[in-house]
Chains A and B, each alone.
Chain A
Amino acid sequence: MEARANTRIVVIGNGMVGYKFCEKLFSKNHTEQNFTVTVFGEEPRPAYDRVHLSSYFDGASADDLSLASVEWYAQQGITLYLSDPVVDIDRVQKTVRSHHGIVVGYDYLIFATGSAAFVPPIPGVEKKGVFVYRTIEDLELISEHAHHARKAAVLGGGLLGLEAAKALLDLGMEEAHVVEFAPRLMPRQIDEAGSEVLQAQLESLGLQIHLSMATDSILGQESIEGLIFKDGSQLPIDMLVISAGIRPRDELAKIAGLETHPRGGILVDDRLRTADPAIFAIGECALVHQMIYGLIAPGYEMAEVVVSQLLGAEKAFLPFDMSTKLKLIGTDVASFGDPFVKEPDCRTVRFENKAKGIYKRINISSDGRELLGGILVGDASQYNMLLQTTKSKTILPPDPEDLILGNRGSEETGAGVMNFPDDALICSCEAVSKGMICSEVENGNTTIDALKKSCKAGTGCGGCVPMVNDLIQGVLKKQGIYLRKVICEHFGHSRQELLDLMKINQVKTFGATIDLFGKGHGCEVCKPLVGSILASLWNENILHSDRATIQDSNDRFLANIQKGGTYSVVPRIPGGEITPEKLIVIGQVAQRFGLYTKITGGQRIDLFGAHVSDLPQIWEILIDAGFESGHAYGKSLRTVKSCVGSTWCRFGVQDSVSFAIEVEERYKGLRSPHKLKSAVSGCVRECAEAQSKDFGIIATEKGWNLYVCGNGGSKPQHAQLLATDVDKETCLRLIDRFLMFYIQTADPLTRTATWLNKMEGGINYLRAVVVDDLLEMGEQWEREMQELVNRFHCEWKEVVETPELRKRFTHFVNADQKDPSVAFEEMRGQIKVKDWQ
């Protein structure tokens, strides 16, 4: 098909696929072809990333999700109507009419109307508190309702339902239920055994799963009060999210007399053409090869197929792989190829570890040569690898079970990707093959960012990024380039190398560091890193000399920057112990400067909303009352939490508060590759949660047990036992060594847990170095630590007392005024910063 000069195209629907159609049309059209494109969107904003919709609850804004701005459409010459759905099509005159009455003629009409959530006809679905999960507006309504809801359920235990259920938990629901009609979760992707393991994992996250449950009706007057099931049982809830499948938006096509499937979907052939040669359908509204492809990658491929035809090339849409990996839910789930083929059509290998919540299944062709498909629950790290092996029909090794059972060192994975044929699809969202990526890397695009720009690989769902990384490494290795983890374009060294160089050469400023060991003028990556090394080595004031402007914003102002541009102030409260007098001073400061106060998760008090120009005065008052900086802003020791211990607690065997204070006083202000946290518990009941800390101490009858390399946060990890029943002095000595070893060898922004995970030999090696002094560094490290401890100074105090530093704490250099753009609202009797605009 050849489109004529000045072809008028109308796109109905500005969702993900409708947008991708426009993007591809304009990026591929390098000829003289003239397209006049008009897009009608029903939603109030231009197309956004629906796949990552749930990140809206993690603070992503509509802007962050946006795929292209309104200006982009204008720049391409596309006329975009938003909040204005097409309501009528005249196929004879070839015009469409919108809700607002705009009539536009077309030569080609593209349906990209997507789908809507399918709402089963259960009595009561119209009640308040019942939602679907499809658009930004849906999520706004849900989060609004969540303020006064406590118990919520999701109807539907499929891919989307589980994602929605996790979001409900994250919204702070006391109870979050999943109700599924089928006898297993994700019935389209995983088998019974996989579902069982997944269910256990989800239950440990706090979700309650109800399988084989048929919902009869929704209880409640105006608002939902519960579900009643066909078996008569009830579930009291005050919020319900329906995720029972999708319903293609084919209503307009129907009105226009186009053929649709009884269960939904606009019928098209493998060129995505309807029976009317001027009309195409792409994305979730189209029924191709007898199915609706409810995933983004096939939708993008459909856009590609239609664009190719409009530009005069022949291209067909082939049956598409429906492999999926579940995101966001806190446990890995993936299925690829044909997950369900059974013996005798194949040989199935299963691996299950109930205790660890892992289930893996692969289906291998009967002749043992090819991988047909499989399921991964609990650990999907091999997903990309297995998917590619399936798709490219790679000949399997003699012991294919090694694929899921054997050694899975990262090097092997890398080698694996390099063995794929050149046409193996790596990024299926953007249809980028291995060959294309490798040649881009050979042309010098050797970073993920560069590849995203040059060939769009990794810009869709992001699932292929690890494999793209492996390819970069593989190609470079083949070219004989030794890969070192260099810091950035300004320093061709790793952090550890730079630290050694700076130490040996006694370098104390950023200027000298970059002049001696780097090039250019630095950037936001290397500057704070050098700042941190300087602090770890010499512990001089981080704002002196040329060091102020190399610190991250928080360090530069010795406070955490907040939304709106104000700062928070966290005074140190060692061990969480505080006198009434000091509490009163904190209250007075908050009152006087109008600050919001909150008890933190670290056993101290945070004062939020301080103007930059008020900081020195706030600190001055706090310092007079005996406080110091709490370094809440620094990559440095944060808090040493304590439980009350033997002084009051009937179970306590040691005085944990005194020891926590001693530990905090010793290491306060210590700068490190990432923040450091600690805790001391008075007995095995562990009320201070020491085993989730970078170093944690638990009292025993005979002394103290020292644990290291624990982590809370997003990837929690228990600390491991380093030494048993040691006395206080030994304990501190071991911590000195442990911390110096970490500071001198860890990569930037690596917590101790990750550092240990990457350490060859693991905890045994660490113990050999720290406890048994394998490297004979123990004494030196203890000495170096003592020097740092001796050089401690309160950074706040130095600013308060140094006019030169203090004068930098203003918003304007030329006006004695606070930032007039700062605005607060009221909430529960305190201030709150205004939301992002």
Chain B
Amino acid sequence: MNNVSHVTERIIWHYACHIDDVPSEGGACALINGKQIAIFNLSRRGEWYATDNQCPHKQQMALSRGMTGCENDEPKVACPFHKKTFSLRTGAGINDGTLQIATFPVQVQEGKVFIGMQD
């Protein structure tokens, strides 16, 4: 999950919440470094993802309340407002290719969820 490729990039891991704080197959929003981050717990796949909480379509702070799922096995989230969908892996808009959200690496250790952000 940790995809640090350049030596110059330094990832700082921030404690976000306990795993129980994020509903299974759903999301929750954490405030990290003053930024709203959506954290998703895809328990059926055993995977965690983190993205911007803000949907770029109408700038709504809502992605953490969106519905998760998959499309051809690509894990995704649908914004509750107008159902724009985003890949949780890459942040790319799926049903609207012009949209993009940022994604962040996640680590889970001893029941704690950490979000990685670049220094």
Contact = CB atoms under 8 A, between A and B. Distances in A.
B50 interface: no
Interface in B9-35: 16-17, 21-26, 28-32
A521 B42 contact: yes
Interface in A524-549: 524, 526-528, 546, 548-549
B23 A521 contact: no
B62 interface: yes
A813 interface: yes
B31 A552 contact: no
B69 A527 contact: yes
A456 to B, nearest CB: 14
Contacts of A528: 67
A561 B71 contact: no
B58 A836 contact: yes
Nearest to B21: A813
A564 B69 contact: no
A815 interface: yes
Contact of A821 (B23, B61, B69, B73): B61
A227 to B, nearest CB: 40
Nearest to A510: B25
B60 A813 contact: no
Contacts of B65: 553, 556-557, 561
A550 B25 contact: yes
A813 B28 contact: yes
Contact of B60 (A522, A552, A556, A564): A564
B99 to A, nearest CB: 10
B72 interface: yes
Contacts of B76: 523
Contacts of A520: 70, 73
B17 A813 contact: yes
A837 B25 CA distance: 30
Chain A interface mostly:
loop
Contacts of B61: 565, 811, 819, 821-822
Interface in B32-54: 32, 36, 39, 42, 44-45, 54
A564 B21 CA distance: 24
B16 A813 contact: yes
B30 A814 contact: yes
A511 interface: yes
B31 A524 contact: no
Contacts of B23: 548-549, 808
The number of chain A residues touching the other chain, given as a range, is: 35 or more
Nearest to B25: A549
Given A524-B67, A527-B67, A561-B62, A549 B26 contact: yes
Nearest to B76: A523
Contacts of A61: 58
Interface string A544-582: 001011101100110001011100000000000000000
A548 B26 contact: yes
B87 interface: no
Nearest to B26: A549
B103 interface: no
A763 B1 CA distance: 58
A521 B69 contact: yes
B29 A812 contact: yes
A815 B60 contact: no
B72 A489 contact: yes
Given A552-B67, A813-B16, A813-B29, A546 B24 contact: yes
A326 B95 CA distance: 28
A33 interface: no
B108 to A, nearest CB: 14
Interface string B71-88: 111011010110101000
Nearest to A804: B20
A72 interface: yes
A599 to B, nearest CB: 26
B31 A817 contact: yes
B98 A72 contact: yes
A786 interface: no
B71 A523 contact: yes
Contact of B44 (A71, A521, A817): A521
A647 interface: no
B59 interface: yes
A69 interface: yes
B91 interface: no
A524 B85 contact: yes
B45 A813 contact: no
Contacts of B25: 510, 521-522, 546, 549-550
Contacts of B81: 561
Contacts of B44: 511, 521
A521 B68 CA distance: 9
A61 B36 CA distance: 25
Nearest to B15: A814
Contacts of A489: 71-72
A510 B85 CA distance: 21
A24 to B, nearest CB: 18
B3 to A, nearest CB: 23
Contacts of A564: 60
Most A Cβ at <10 Å: residue of B30, B65, B83:
B65
A410 B98 CA distance: 36
B70 A565 contact: no
B101 to A, nearest CB: 15
Nearest to B62: A565
B105 interface: no
Interface string A813-837: 1110101011000000000000011
A803 to B, nearest CB: 13
A74 B10 CA distance: 31
Contacts of A837: 58-59
A76 to B, nearest CB: 14
A468 to B, nearest CB: 18
A836 B45 contact: no
Contacts of B59: 836-837
B17 A814 contact: yes
Nearest to B18: A813
A815 B67 CA distance: 22
Contacts of A550: 25, 67
B62 to A, nearest CB: 5
B91 to A, nearest CB: 16
Contacts of B67: 523-524, 527-528, 549-550, 552-553
Contacts of A511: 44
A73 to B, nearest CB: 12
Contacts of A526: 69
A812 B70 contact: no
Nearest to A528: B67
A548 B66 CA distance: 11
A815 B98 CA distance: 32
A287 B25 CA distance: 59
Contacts of B66: 524, 553
Contacts of B17: 813-814
A71 B32 CA distance: 29
B31 A814 contact: yes
Contact of A565 (B21, B60, B73, B75): B60
Contact of A561 (B21, B24, B45, B80): B80
Nearest to B30: A814
A527 B68 CA distance: 9
25 contacts: A489-B71, A490-B69, A520-B70, A520-B73, A521-B45, A521-B69, A523-B67, A523-B71, A523-B76, A527-B69, A549-B25, A549-B68, A552-B67, A553-B65, A553-B67, A557-B65, A561-B80, A561-B81, A563-B58, A812-B29, A813-B16, A813-B21, A813-B39, A821-B54, A821-B61
Closest 3 CB pairs of A and B: A553-B80, A549-B26, A523-B69
Given A812-B29, A813-B39, 4 more contacts: A521-B42, A552-B67, A565-B60, A812-B31
